[in-house]
Amino acid sequence: MEVPNIFKSPTSADDRQKKLEKIRKNRYQDPSGDFMSYGYDYFDNAEIHSGYRHYTYDGRFEEPVGDVIETFGLTKDMKVADYGCAKGYLLYEFKKKGHPVIGFERSEYAITEAQPELKDDIVQCSDPAVLGDHSFDFLMSRCVLPHMDTDSITQLIELAIKNTRTKPYFVIHTFEIEAHREDYRYWDRTHVSIMNAVQWREFMKPFSDKLFFSLDYLF
């Protein structure tokens, strides 16, 4: 089921267009191997305008995590999982609110740079099959699906549905009109599944009664 996006962008449309202009002029139109493997270049190299570009904790997820807890009726005894948790800033807000947590992340660099309180809670993995080895009550995954091919996305969704005690929640970065397809591609060169809003809705249809999802428009 599609629900309104709980996670509002911290930047305006004008700010995103300015960033896009810098990305197009940047030498990392042809990104490094470190960038494509989610290393320092992807997360913290301030000279690169694509990717996260110096990704530090700023508390932006505190309010939306409270909204997630309220929207989905999560109680403090419920263990929360975050697939593709990066440095764990989203998961950190759940932990601060008293939830047991577990994160799943492919980037060794991101885990190394994660919040100190979370380092024992994050599992390094690149295969969704790892979900079958763990138990949790609620799983969310924010802006991760476009970084995966469609077979892996389907595998992740099916395993999340099977192994989560409540319906999982996915937030999907996308673009609204076809004219922005190239803008979206340049925004993050690690994107694999580049689909517009209509295409994502069609992709999610077979799972619509078993999960929640929101579309997060970059453009």
User: What pLDDT score was predicted for residue 25?
Assistant: 75
Identify the pLDDT of residue 116. Answer: 92
pTM: 0.93
Residue 62 near residue 91 (C-beta atoms within 8 A): no
Residue 170 φ then ψ, to 5°:
-120, 135
Beta bridge partners of 169: 140, 212
Q: Where are the domains of the chain?
A: 13-217
* pLDDT score, position 27: 58
One-character DSSP codes across 31-86: --HHHHTTSHHHHT-TT--SS-SS----STTHHHHHHHHHHTT--TTS-EEEET-T
Cα dihedral angle (119, 163, 70, 197), rounded to 10 degrees?
100
Question: What is 13-217's CATH number?
Answer: 3.40.50.150
pLDDT tens for each residue of the chain, 219 residues long: 999 999 987 677 777 788 778 777 765 567 889 999 999 999 999 888 777 877 889 999 999 999 999 999 999 999 999 999 999 999 999 999 999 999 999 999 999 999 999 989 999 999 999 999 999 999 999 999 999 999 999 999 999 999 999 999 999 999 999 999 998 988 898 999 999 999 999 999 999 999 999 999 988
Q: Residue 99 and residue 93: Cα distance in Å, rounded?
A: 9
Residue of 171, 174, 192 whose CA lies nearest to 183: 174
Give the separation between CA 12 and CA 214, rounded to whole angstroms.
19
